[in-house]
Amino acid sequence: MGNIQGGDILLRDGVINAVGFQYNALSGIIGENYNHAGVALNGWEVHHVESNGYETIPILSFFSCDNAAKGAIIRYVGPQAPRVQQKVVEIVRMRTYPKRPGNPFSSATSWDTVNCNEFIYSLFLIAVQLLAEEDNNEGVSTGMAELSRQGHFVSPRRIDYEFFGALAQRTVWGAETVGGTQANHPDVRIEFEGQVRCNTRFLRYFCWESEASLLTYTPGSFLRSSYFRLVKGVSCGSPDGSGLY
122 within domain boundaries = yes
pLDDT score for 105: 85
Tell me: pLDDT of 29 over 90: no
User: Domain span at residue 229?
Assistant: 9-153+219-235
Residues of the chain above pLDDT 70, percent: 76
Cα 91 from chain centre: 17
211 within domain boundaries = no
> pLDDT confidence of 212, banded at 50, 70, 90?
confident
Tell me: pLDDT of 184 over 60: yes
Quote the pTM value: 0.85
In this structure, which amino acid lies at residue 41?
L
More confident of the two residues 49 and 20: 49
Q: What CATH number is attached to the domain comprising 148?
A: 3.90.1720
Give pLDDT tens digits for 84-110: 999 999 999 999 999 999 988 899 999
pLDDT score for 56: 97
Residue 72 · residue 11 · CB < 8 Å? yes
Average pLDDT over the chain reads: 83
158 within domain boundaries = no
97 within domain boundaries = yes
33 within domain boundaries = yes
CA distances from 30 to 3, 90, 217 (A): 28, 32, 11
177 within domain boundaries = no
196 within domain boundaries = no
pLDDT score for 23: 42
Tell me: pLDDT of 224 over 90: yes
Residue 184 · residue 141 · CB < 8 Å? no
Average confidence (pLDDT) over 201-209? 59
How many independent structural domains does the chain possess?
1
- Residues 234, 76, 86, 53: is their CA dihedral positive or negative? negative
> pLDDT confidence of 3, banded at 50, 70, 90?
confident
Q: Name the residue among 152, 173, 161, 140 with its Cα closest to residue 221.
A: 152
Tell me: pLDDT of 239 over 90: no
DSSP the chain: -TT--TT-EEEEEE-EEETTEEE-HHHHHHTSS--EEEEESSSSEEEEEETTEEEEEEHHHHTSTTTEEEEEEEEE-STTHHHHHHHHHHHHHHT-S--PPB-TT--TT-SSSB-HHHHHHHHHHHHHHHHHHHHHHHT--SSHHHHHHH--SS--EEEEEEEETTHHHHHHHHHHHHHHHH--STTB-----SEEEEEEEETTTEEEEEEEEEEE--HHHHHTSTTEEEEEEEETT-TTTTT--
Give pLDDT tens digits for 116-149: 999 999 999 999 999 999 999 988 888 888 888 8
pLDDT score for 196: 76
pLDDT score for 173: 58
CA distances from 186 to 50, 177, 202, 204 (A): 11, 16, 43, 42
More confident of the two residues 6 and 151: 6
- Residues 131, 89, 15, 178: is their CA dihedral positive or negative? negative
More confident of the two residues 165 and 3: 3
89 within domain boundaries = yes
Number of Cβ atoms within 10 Å of the Cβ of 197: 12
Tell me: pLDDT of 158 over 80: yes
